[in-house]
Chain A
Amino acid sequence: MKFYVCIKMVPDVNAPLQIKDGQLIQDADRMILNAYDASAVEEALVLKEKHGGEVEVVCIGSAKASETIRKALAMGADKATHIQTSGDEQYDSGSYARILAKFFGDKEYDVLSLGKQSQDTDSGLTGSMVAELLELPYTTNAVGLEAEDGKLIVKRQGDSGQEMIELPTPCAVTCSNDMNEPRIPNLKGIMASKRKPVDQIELSSLGLSDDELTPNTSVKGYEEKPGREPGKKFEGEPDEIAREVAQLLDTEANVL
């Protein structure tokens, strides 16, 4: 099976965040491969190991994104395409989806996979947008993948339980990071990644119009999340503090 996995470089959400004059100050050294995309790469590698085929990663981003691409190659992806941008663009999910749809328009593949959302924006739109633009059958929030007779069997987490969905190929799927533990590249993988082909293409070479790249939504600024008032902490005899808190939930918080 031929897998294309779309990956994105994102800021590490575990790094300290700073907001200055409504702008988010990000530590340039703390950029990582989006965790959901790492799960999508891992799952593609597992299916390739089982059924054969090829895993290619595609990344839209500035020159710095080559580190993210290298990480996916070190995990075991066979090759990569880097769609280069200046990095200053304020693209939204729609812009990214239109770029990807244009890129995949003339490609052949069985499965197009992505993380179910990216950790910085938490939007979760790009996957189903690309699928719709390419008129592919798709499913989102996969927690398990199997390949069978040219079909993809997806276990997805829905609202009230898990659903088993059969997709004919070519198809698109977005992956949760609950489906696996992405492998950590070993030394051999890291060395091998340096010899793997990375196709560098300029965004402008895809021939998208300004309209297609113009985002419909914009971020006007960031603000601190309204903090919760510091609560009360109770230490001491379990019997006593348990009863005391139960009483407070009734008389003070009015939630019983």
Chain B
Amino acid sequence: MSTILTHIAISDGKIKRSSLEVLSHCKKIAESGGHSVEAVIIDEKASSYVDGVKKYGASKIYTVEDPVFKNHMNTPLLKALAKVMETANPFVFAFASTEGTKDILGALAANQDASVLPDVSSFELIDGGIKAKRPVMAAKIVANTEAKGDKILVSVRSGSYDLVESETDAEVVNIDFNLDDSDLKATLKEIISASGDTIDLNEAEAIVAAGRGVKDEEGQNLISELASVLNAGIGASRALTEAGVYDPSLQIGQTGKVVSPQLYIAVGISGAIQHVAGMANSKVIVAINKDPDAPIFEVADYGIVGDLYKVLPPFIEEIKKIKN
């Protein structure tokens, strides 16, 4: 029996839903292949998240706790991950594909001499490795890929798998961690956060995204109101983050965040391929645009051809009525 290990990402005091999706999938493929599934939490308060992880079926949960993990820094994280890999000896180590993961995945693979497939939309075990589907070429096509070896790292796009609860009485193992100052190659000077009360787009059930068509404060207010009625996260196209209208962390697309909510409402977004690459996996897509030929309509389940300033007020009113 071999071990599949899952990394549990913590962000702003919460377990990232996307890592539980990965754990749920690992549980399923581990069981069918006769393997064990384990999880690791690396955080300033790692042990406080153990109960939340137990619900998803890991047989063993490793915790690495140290104040240095309060914020993301690649050197201590790499050191901790290397130590966890030496302890758990997994043949597959699966991550949710977050910015934090992207920062360390290549380095960890080099450090551990492991094979690595990043940002996959699905993966399965095969003889001597894994096979995975990866969206490539700005997510326009899918590459069927394989990784072989006795140590394989994989990161999985959010929304690729459903959460499946299966409570176990997992054994909890704390891994000692000590950091020398000389281990800190880089220094984190400052965190310039987006406003703290925004909803994490990687985790949001619904997202309202604003594009170039949102021209002024009135437009932004309509976006905020729609997001508030839907309890949705607010995203933006590159045009609006570059113009400084929305924070860069809210940018959706190939260069920004790749999201997959249940409901994605693209408002005044034309639908350049770079943007579509970041949202095409949403379950239901609504597009509002006054140009009937905008490419966004090619991916939208519901396309509203019209001026957002005229469409949004009655749209918001109707949703309010339905919600009440």
Given the complex of chains A and B, what is the CA–CA distance between A129 and B153 in angstroms? Answer: 13
Given the complex of chains A and B, what is the CA–CA distance between A127 and B104 in angstroms? Answer: 10
Q: A125-B116, A165-B187 are in contact. Are A242 and B138 (CB under 8 A)?
A: no
A193 within 8 A of partner (CB) = no
Given the complex of chains A and B, what is the CA–CA distance between A124 and B190 in angstroms? Answer: 24
A186 within 8 A of partner (CB) = no
A47 within 8 A of partner (CB) = no
Q: Is the CB of B105 within 8 A of A125?
A: yes
Q: A137-B186, A219-B144, A224-B141 are in contact. Are A239 and B314 (CB under 8 A)?
A: yes
Given the complex of chains A and B, what is the CA–CA distance between A246 and B255 in angstroms? Answer: 31
Interface residues in B172-190 by Cβ distance below 8 A to A read 185-190
Q: Is the CB of B189 within 8 A of A166?
A: yes
Given the complex of chains A and B, what is the CA–CA distance between A131 and B103 in angstroms? Answer: 11
* B258 CB to nearest chain A CB (Å): 10
B109 within 8 A of partner (CB) = yes
Q: Is the CB of A11 within 8 A of B145?
A: no
Given the complex of chains A and B, what is the CA–CA distance between A162 and B191 in angstroms? Answer: 6
Q: Is the CB of B311 within 8 A of A249?
A: no
B164 within 8 A of partner (CB) = no
Q: Is the CB of B186 within 8 A of A125?
A: no
Q: Is the CB of A246 within 8 A of B188?
A: no
Q: Is the CB of A160 within 8 A of B189?
A: no
Residues of A within 8 A of B (CB): 11, 13-14, 17, 19, 22, 24, 93-94, 97, 116, 119-133, 136-141, 143, 153, 155-168, 171, 176-178, 216-225, 228-229, 231-235, 238-239, 241-243, 245-250, 253, 255-256
Given the complex of chains A and B, what is the CA–CA distance between A84 and B285 in angstroms? Answer: 45
Q: Is the CB of A19 within 8 A of B144?
A: no
B160 within 8 A of partner (CB) = no
Contact-size category for B: 35 or more
Q: Is the CB of B144 within 8 A of A245?
A: no
B65 within 8 A of partner (CB) = no
* B146 CB to nearest chain A CB (Å): 5
* B17 CB to nearest chain A CB (Å): 13
B143 within 8 A of partner (CB) = yes
* B241 CB to nearest chain A CB (Å): 8
Q: Is the CB of A241 within 8 A of B306?
A: yes
Q: Which 10 residue pairs spanning A and B have beta carbons closest together?
A: A137-B185, A125-B106, A161-B193, A216-B115, A246-B318, A128-B106, A242-B315, A132-B107, A238-B310, A128-B107
Q: Is the CB of A245 within 8 A of B145?
A: no
Contacts of B190 in A (CB 8 A): 163-164
Q: Is the CB of A129 within 8 A of B109?
A: yes
A138-B185, A165-B188, A235-B292 known; 10 new pairs, CB 8 Å cut-off, are: A13-B138, A94-B109, A122-B138, A129-B106, A162-B248, A163-B188, A167-B186, A229-B301, A246-B315, A246-B319
**What does DSSP make chain A's interface, helix, strand, loop or mixed?**
mixed
* A100 CB to nearest chain B CB (Å): 11
B4 within 8 A of partner (CB) = no
Give the contacting residue for A122; candidates B119, B191, B311; CB below 8 A: B119
Given the complex of chains A and B, what is the CA–CA distance between A196 and B258 in angstroms? Answer: 40
Max chain A C-beta neighbours (<10 A), residue from B118, B146, B148: B118
B136 within 8 A of partner (CB) = yes
Contacts of B108 in A (CB 8 A): 132
Max chain B C-beta neighbours (<10 A), residue from A119, A160, A220, A229: A160
Contacts of A253 in B (CB 8 A): 263, 284, 301-302
Looking at the complex, which of B20-28, B30-38, B55-63, B70-78 is the stretch in contact with chain A? B70-78
Max chain A C-beta neighbours (<10 A), residue from B149, B186, B187: B186
Q: Is the CB of B284 within 8 A of A255?
A: yes
B102 within 8 A of partner (CB) = yes
Given the complex of chains A and B, what is the CA–CA distance between A246 and B319 in angstroms? Answer: 6
Give the contacting residue for B302; candidates A123, A141, A245; CB below 8 A: A245
